[in-house]
Structure 1
């Protein structure tokens, strides 16, 4: 799922989007559930939120509420701003906190409990706060190493498919990743190695990865569009790294935004290097338009919105009956066994893991 995101390809689409995406309307539910009479509901988000205007107009038609989107940088930056303004939030709903940062949001008491309508169509394992319903799952995505197909084909070298492959001599000086302290995919990749090698092994793995020439940059945009040789941005910037930490959904983005569209994506996914990311939305405590916020949370798990996400934010729906578009299924990759780390363990160890990682890799 910015950087944040996003969510892989999410970051490619991040630059697109208007701050107000639907026509104004008076809410037919504005006097209920403690909501204000305002016809506008404000969604605070990371920069990668994007929805089709027609879909948000449908929300307005159904509820009377207009959606105003307030974008606030990457996922970490957006969350930090809400923590600083908690109790007097800048909007009604916050979207974009993922499982790597969820404990920070919950520990700071940012959200009011609300069980969204339609939540019964979302798998129980994605409902990480199902006892209190302070957040609602909206999408999933997989952070994975991507590779430049042409680079490896030209050299008759098989692309790496696992974490163990990345530390082999034949892949020396080929990988670029993001800073785990400043980037959502960078943090996800760190968590993936913690999940794969455990408390006693992940630091040794990163020592080997560093010895094998891994490059670390601040964020996804720099890694993918400047240093990676396989993206359109990378080609313009003459990137020389054929391996990059991005998302399993990045290949469909390369196809969608290429002119003309190729029959095959120019990039691939190392399927044994992935970490599952789930993004959530929540009703902000102190929201001025609580009724509108609840209606919006219901809408975010509606089939209409869920089916709109894949080619806008390049993430996977969480509802069981949502259909994926053909381009997404044809060029995307399904990750059968991504690495995961329990939210409680992330909460307990995240800060120390990042501190230790920084000491190991950045010094």
Structure 2
């Protein structure tokens, strides 16, 4: 069974209170005082207290073309990816030249060669490292990335795999767009990166300190929901598609999907000790809690992450996992469920378990 060896995060240096960001963005997005008032209410109700941005706040006053904002994405994303990856490798006690597979995921910028290729010389990865860049998964990308690490390591039990996620959501905020989607998104999304080092079963036996096993992963793509969430590319960048339908899909499908997934692995909801939920927004987290019949407190780590850094798209659920691995005490045999929703509309479920020898190794 594959095993998570380490998780690490990286954030840009520019950190602002939500109110500062709101006051700067409001006149950029709309000149209508009534729309600005709506925007302020939405930002206040987002439960986001602070966010990290890839540029100083005043630089967002510049009207950037898609090319200009994407150039900034490539430069900053590569640096953040390097930071998160190196931290994760150091925590795992694994050298960069021992990595056999790199998966990179992002939906807020594009690059060819992809950012994972740019990381090869910067990290000291082998020139024959396998690379899988994934674009378009959005918020579900971090969870999907762990699932794809697991799929690979099941067939390569001696190998080391690295997942890297970088999202610079602030570069996608649209000027002069007072649509409800842009008003909401401008108060919810932040910038950040995360990396996960995972190892195959035989390689895990040689490591002194590791995290949970990856027991299983499952994907769902919901029909007739492509209009609910996504991005539309244009001359000024990626224009967000965001509706209230995300919570509706959770209400309609999520409980059944989770119960079936757990049942196939010999568990029920009562057998889950901890939940790692993508903090998609207050309505989404509340819908997750309803679907799983748990209190909001059971998703405390997700609420805490959303307040501290906002929704980081694919990186968010990895930040939640990293925070839990640092803060929480985990017992041998405990199971955890990691999950996220993204464009499609799609869901990714990952079942984790702390192995029987976990207490002794830690």
Question: Which TM-score band applies after superposition, normalised by the shorter structure?
Answer: under 0.3
The alignment's TM-score, normalised by the length of structure 1, stands at: 0.25
Bigger proportion of residues as helix: 2
Bigger proportion of residues as strand: 2
The alignment's TM-score, normalised by the length of structure 2, stands at: 0.25
